[in-house]
Amino acid sequence: MKFVQLLIKLLNRAWRRKSPSDREKGAITVAETLIALGVGATVLAVVFAGIPALVAARNASTGMSGLTQIVSSVRMTFGVRNNFGGLNTALARNLAGFPQHFLIQGQTSPQHPWSGDVEINGAGQSFTIEFSQMPQAACTSLVATTAEMSESVEIGGKTLDITAQDDPNTGPDESAAADIATLCADNPPNDVTWTFRG
């Protein structure tokens, strides 16, 4: 009996601390736990809030580099003759230098980073590249960075005026950027078609 009482007394000492200072030495209080959970939740919220921006930036970079790779590979192959007759998507996807990350297994057409089809067609001395089903933000950023490298750009079937010139007195012409934003906002997702010359 004395043994049981001694055991209970030892267990009581182990589970109960004598003073507040003993409690502070080994245990985490509820307040400390809540603070740690709050800080962790804030960090996770910040990280998850930044992920869409990172994905959008990666897609924009991939889209732009893919478009320029397609233009380069087509010009390298057909530009010597300066005749793009017979060029189509099936032929273009087999060219050296075609962006492999646009080729998705099981898809007949190459896919741009926003999951729409990429169509390529040539006729005479020019060729077109179309990115179908471009989301509004992607359309705006990609066209703004690539419009000047092409002869013309159509957004949703409407031709963008890319001939506006910068005024040395007033600075860059803002009308082209406004036109791009307006056309990309019209009925998204839009098909964007660039026309290039050899």
Dump pLDDT digits (tens) for 8-22: 665 566 556 555 555
Q: Answer yes or no: is 24 within a domain.
A: no
Q: Answer yes or no: is 12 within a domain.
A: no
Q: Total structural domains in the chain?
A: 1
Largest CA distance in the chain: 106
Q: Answer yes or no: is 11 within a domain.
A: no
Global pTM exceeds 0.85? no
Q: Answer yes or no: is 134 within a domain.
A: yes
pLDDT at 7: 47
Helix axes 30-78, 136-146, angle to 10 degrees: 50
11-15, 126-130, 163-167: which has the highest mean pLDDT? 126-130
pLDDT at 113: 94
Q: Answer yes or no: is 19 within a domain.
A: no
pLDDT at 111: 93
* Upstream peptide bond of 20 is cis (omega within 30 degrees of 0): no
Length of the chain: 198
pLDDT at 120: 94
CATH number of the structural domain spanning residue 148: 3.30.1690.10
pLDDT at 166: 54
Mean pLDDT computed over 61-70: 92
CA 129/CA 193 separation, integer angstroms: 6
Q: Answer yes or no: is 138 within a domain.
A: yes
Residue 46 burial by CB count (10 A; 0-12/13-18/19+): exposed, middle or buried?
Answer: exposed
The whole-chain average pLDDT of the chain stands at: 82
